[in-house]
């Protein structure tokens, strides 16, 4: 490892291999992808690792419903996920699955370590059991009447009507969701991870700058309530890894899932001759997890404790994103707002969505609303009306009057007007670089976008001020050439700044400019440089496409 730059291992939550990627999921992956791209552009070493979360009862039962083996079932989703991520511009260094020999090996090693270190306790527990299907029933697979308020058809863990929480065995008139049979209560021995042993460690860790402040405060409630031992066992039948030295016990999916981060990274490191311990045992590198708010408890309490208990380093940072709502409401199948990434991609380019998310994302754990009217307005006005407009207004002159070649210098001689605040416009744009980088690095993407769009406004004001369309008629070709060349150079800076958000527009622009749009190459403007003839790089969004997306999501 060289010590001149920073080294990051970044993960995003592992997607369940139980369904397709939807726009809510996409939010978190795009957020992390923008961060990783920023670090790579800055020259830091940053690996982005992710994969499918392939185990657990729902996957096992859905495979059965489809008359497939769990392996066949998860393979289909794996293939679809890979395609969806690629088309969203989410670029992983490695995308794996938790159902791998590497993950099994690591899970067993970690289990053995925490066991040998005295962190496993055994208890007999009573659980709901389906006597027809011969399977223990997870909470969500038992339904019945709430023991408190008698509302019928409630899940086994909590009542949607009165908010009571309870055990599935407390429900009245309980039924198995799988067979409809009345569950019986059955005893079984389970292994528990002794989380309370880590209370002091976690108290310190959760207030130590590794979490957003809202998350730290929220976690203090759990300490007040007292941490409980965590059940890491599931009885057969189960799709997962068998616990060594047992015949019918499996590791609970939430134990092997985060270990999947390690296993996926291990495969990547081995393929690339990199050292696993450099990222999992060494405090000179940074381990960063991006997750959604619903899985905070697993990542900010269990996971650091498991890592500590088995001799690995704890995460350096966990970034939690809020949930996506669509048109102000929870995504819903009946409203047509439960939108799969593929449905969106069938109608629109991912760059629009990435831009919209970026323009609204901050490092607070807030829900983000995808309001389609706002989406169309913002994308059309910012990206087409402001950004692309700069290139299209200037390139016509460069093409027709100047043989597609930019001016030899950009010094405009007649700019002695006192109102002219464009004298140093190129340098002014460059001077914003640190601010913009900081906003991206701090996950304050909305602030970065604001800065960049203010510059786009300024570039347009510059063009409006000099009016090349009028200048050319006065015969001042020299100034016309310089103004348009400056416009193209400013466009290049803006595209560089936006490249973590709009990677595919950056590539297209780079072809148009016949020049790199790398951040590090901006110090020298393009002079006496040939560009390509301009072709529209991004189209306006036709609102009809939104209707089509919503209609397709209803079926």
Q: Applying CB under 6 A, which residues contact ligand MSP?
A: 13-16, 24-25, 27-28, 53, 257-258, 291-292, 294-295, 321, 323-324, 331
Taking the least distance from each CB to Zn ion, the nearer of 159 and 472 is: 159
Distance set, CA 27 to CA 253, 293, 358 (Å)? 24, 12, 9
Could you tell me which residues come within 8 angstroms of residue 276 by beta carbon, excluding any fewer than 6 positions away?
262, 265, 266, 269, 270
Question: With contact defined as beta carbons under 8 Å apart, do 537 and 512 qualify?
Answer: yes
Taking the least distance from each CB to ligand MSP, the nearer of 57 and 496 is: 57
How many CB atoms neighbour CB 18 within 10 A?
18
> Least distance from C-beta 493 to ligand MSP, angstroms?
32
Task: Report residue 325: phi and psi, to 5°.
Answer: -115, 160
> Least distance from C-beta 307 to ligand MSP, angstroms?
13
Taking the least distance from each CB to ligand MSP, the nearer of 292 and 315 is: 292
Q: Distance (Å, rounded) from C-alpha 454 to C-alpha 68?
A: 54
User: What's 384's DSSP letter?
Assistant: I
> Least distance from C-beta 321 to ligand MSP, angstroms?
6
> Least distance from C-beta 136 to Zn ion, angstroms?
24
> Least distance from C-beta 144 to Zn ion, angstroms?
11
Sheet holding 120-130, edge to edge: 135-136, 120-130, 184-193, 230-231
Distance set, CA 133 to CA 56, 179, 180 (Å)? 16, 7, 10
Task: Report residue 362: phi and psi, to 5°.
Answer: -125, 180
Exposed e or buried b per residue across 398-413, where buried means at least 16 C-beta atoms within 10 angstroms of its C-beta: bbeebebbbbeebebe
Partner that binds at residue 295, options ligand MSP, Zn ion, none, CB closer than 5 to 8 Å by kind: ligand MSP
Taking the least distance from each CB to ligand MSP, the nearer of 187 and 294 is: 294
For ligand MSP, the nearest residue by Cβ is 292
**Tokens of residue 10, six digits:** 């970044």
Partner that binds at residue 493, options Zn ion, ligand MSP, none, CB closer than 5 to 8 Å by kind: none
Could you tell me which residues come within 8 angstroms of residue 291 by beta carbon, excluding any fewer than 6 positions away?
12, 13, 28, 299, 318, 319, 320, 321
Residue ranges that bind Zn ion, judged by CB under 5 A: 146, 148-149, 151, 159, 161-162, 164
> Least distance from C-beta 250 to ligand MSP, angstroms?
17
Angle formed by the axes of helices 445-466 and 350-360, nearest 10° = 110
How many CB atoms neighbour CB 193 within 10 A?
24
Partner that binds at residue 24, options ligand MSP, Zn ion, none, CB closer than 5 to 8 Å by kind: ligand MSP
> Least distance from C-beta 374 to ligand MSP, angstroms?
17
Partner that binds at residue 159, options Zn ion, ligand MSP, none, CB closer than 5 to 8 Å by kind: Zn ion
Percent helix, strand, coil in the chain (nearest 5)?
Answer: 50, 15, 35
Q: Distance (Å, rounded) from C-alpha 543 to C-alpha 549?
A: 10
> Least distance from C-beta 130 to Zn ion, angstroms?
23
Partner that binds at residue 257, options ligand MSP, Zn ion, none, CB closer than 5 to 8 Å by kind: ligand MSP
Taking the least distance from each CB to Zn ion, the nearer of 140 and 161 is: 161
Distance set, CA 78 to CA 14, 74, 412, 459 (Å)? 11, 6, 56, 44
Partner that binds at residue 146, options ligand MSP, Zn ion, none, CB closer than 5 to 8 Å by kind: Zn ion
Q: Which residues pair with 530 in a beta bridge?
A: 405
Kindly give the pairing relationship between strand 184-193 and strand 154-155.
Answer: unpaired
Partner that binds at residue 86, options ligand MSP, Zn ion, none, CB closer than 5 to 8 Å by kind: none
Taking the least distance from each CB to Zn ion, the nearer of 157 and 552 is: 157
Partner that binds at residue 148, options ligand MSP, Zn ion, none, CB closer than 5 to 8 Å by kind: Zn ion
> Least distance from C-beta 92 to ligand MSP, angstroms?
14
Partner that binds at residue 323, options Zn ion, ligand MSP, none, CB closer than 5 to 8 Å by kind: ligand MSP
Partner that binds at residue 262, options ligand MSP, Zn ion, none, CB closer than 5 to 8 Å by kind: none
Taking the least distance from each CB to ligand MSP, the nearer of 331 and 391 is: 331
Partner that binds at residue 430, options Zn ion, ligand MSP, none, CB closer than 5 to 8 Å by kind: none
Name the residue among 319, 268, 286, 272 with its Cα closest to residue 44: 286
């Amino acid at each position: 490892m060289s010590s001149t730059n920073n080294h990051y291992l970044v993960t995003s939550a592992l997607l369940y291999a139980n369904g397709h990627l939807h726009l809510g999921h996409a939010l978190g992956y795009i957020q992390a992808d923008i961060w990783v791209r920023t670090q790579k552009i800055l020259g830091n070493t940053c690996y982005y690792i992710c994969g499918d979360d392939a185990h657990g009862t729902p996957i096992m039962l859905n495979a059965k419903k489809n008359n497939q083996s769990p392996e066949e079932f998860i393979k289909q989703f794996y293939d679809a996920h890979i395609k969806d991520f690629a088309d969203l511009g989410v670029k992983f260094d490695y995308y794996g699955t938790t159902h791998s020999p590497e993950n099994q090996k690591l899970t067993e090693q970690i289990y053995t370590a925490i066991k040998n270190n005295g962190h496993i306790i055994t208890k007999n527990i009573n659980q709901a059991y389906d006597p027809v299907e011969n399977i223990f029933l997870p909470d969500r697979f038992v339904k019945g009447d709430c023991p408190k308020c008698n509302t019928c058809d409630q899940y086994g863990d909590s009542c949607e009507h009165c908010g009571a929480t309870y055990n599935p065995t407390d429900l009245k008139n309980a039924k198995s969701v799988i067979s409809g049979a009345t569950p019986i209560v059955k005893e079984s021995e389970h292994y528990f991870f002794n989380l309370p042993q880590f209370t002091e460690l976690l108290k310190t860790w959760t207030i130590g700058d590794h979490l957003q402040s809202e998350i730290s405060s929220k976690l203090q409630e759990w300490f007040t309530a007292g941490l409980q031992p965590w059940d890491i066992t599931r009885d057969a039948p189960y799709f997962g890894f068998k616990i060594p030295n047992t015949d019918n016990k499996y590791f609970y999916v939430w134990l092997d899932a985060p270990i999947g981060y390690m296993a996926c990274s291990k495969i990547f490191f081995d393929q690339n001759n990199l050292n696993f311990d450099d990222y999992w045992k060494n405090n000179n590198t940074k381990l960063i997890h991006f997750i959604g708010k619903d899985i905070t408890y697993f990542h900010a309490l269990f996971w650091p404790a498991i890592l500590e208990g088995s001799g690995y380093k704890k995460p350096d940072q966990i970034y939690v994103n809020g949930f996506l709502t669509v048109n102000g409401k929870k995504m819903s199948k009946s409203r047509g707002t439960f939108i799969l990434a593929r449905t969106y991609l069938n109608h629109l380019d991912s760059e629009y969505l990435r831009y919209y998310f970026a323009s609204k994302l901050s490092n607070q754990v807030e829900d983000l609303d995808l309001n389609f009217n706002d989406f169309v307005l913002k994308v059309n006005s910012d990206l087409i009306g402001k950004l692309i407009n700069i290139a299209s207004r200037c390139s016509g002159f460069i093409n027709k009057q100047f043989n597609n070649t930019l001016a030899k210098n950009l010094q405009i001689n007649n700019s002695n007007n006192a109102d002219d605040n464009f004298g140093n416009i190129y340098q002014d744009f460059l001077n914003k670089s640190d601010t913009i980088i900081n906003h991206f690095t701090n996950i304050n993407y909305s602030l970065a976008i604001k800065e960049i769009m203010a510059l786009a406004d300024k570039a347009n004001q510059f063009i409006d001020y000099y009016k090349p369309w009028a200048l050319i008629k006065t015969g001042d070709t020299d100034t016309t050439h310089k103004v348009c060349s400056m416009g193209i150079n400013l466009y290049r800076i803006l595209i560089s700044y936006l490249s973590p958000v709009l990677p595919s527009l950056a590539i297209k622009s780079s072809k148009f400019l016949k020049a790199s749009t790398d951040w590090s190459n901006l110090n020298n403007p393009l002079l006496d440089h040939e560009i390509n003839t301009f072709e529209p790089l991004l189209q306006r969004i036709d609102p009809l496409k939104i209707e089509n997306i919503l209609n397709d999501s209803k079926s």
